[in-house]
A and B are shown apart, each in its own frame.
Chain A
Amino acid sequence: MKTLTRLMMFASLALVGCGGTAASTARMGATQAAIRSAGEVGAEREPTAALHLQYAREQFTQAEQLSRSGEGERAERVLARAEADAELALALSRRSASISAAGQAASEVREARSRPTPTSTPTPPAAPPTAPQPTP
Chain B
Amino acid sequence: MNLLGGQARQLRLALQQAPDHAVGRVVAMLDGLADRSMIDEVLNSVRPRLRRLQPPRPLRLPRLLFLPLEAALVPAAGWRPGSNLVPRSAITPIAALVSGALPDLAEQVEAGTVGHSLTDHAVVAALGARLWPAASMVATPQVPRGWVAAGLPESAALPILALCAAVWRQAVPLWQARTAASAGAMEALALARAALAPLVADGAAPLSAGLTLLLRAALAPGQIATLATSLSAQIHPVAERALASMLADDAAAVAAATSPDEMAQTAGLLARRLADLEHTANALVRDQRQRHAAILRRDTGQACHARFAAALVETLLVPLARVAAGPRAEDSVVAMLEGAARDLRRLEAAGRRLGQELAFDRSLRDAVAQITRLAATPAGLNRIEFARLVEILAGPDAALALQAEPG
A binds B: no
Residues of B within 8 A of A (CB): none
Residues of A within 8 A of B (CB): none
